[in-house]
Amino acid sequence: MNNDRLVSMANQIADFFQSYPEAEAVEGIATHIKKFWDPRMRQGIFAHLAAGGAGLKPLTLKALQQLATQQTNLKASA
């Protein structure tokens, strides 16, 4: 799946949560991506994030940064 499609899908999730308070929205986006995206999709969006995250909406960006941090912490503690 290409980056443009992943960015579009992640931003659509953020659109759903945009009426929520920011902390809840960020958590909701991160949870959705963690639960419903397969590992290849997550790997692709994290690579896009690491390359600057062009096109990601602010809520999407925050959620992905939070999720990436969680995954890094899990790997470090394993």
How much is the average pLDDT of 3-22?
98
Residue 77 — pLDDT band, cuts 50, 70, 90? confident
CB atoms within 10 A of CB 14: 23
What is the spatial distance between Cα 45 and Cα 6, in angstroms, rounded to a whole number?
6
For 18-34, what is each residue's pLDDT tens digit? 999 999 999 999 999 99
| 3-class DSSP assignment, residue 60 | helix
How close are the terminal C-alpha atoms of the chain, in Å?
Answer: 29
Output 16 or 76, whichever has higher pLDDT: 16
Residue 62 has pLDDT above 90, yes or no: yes
pLDDT for 75? 76
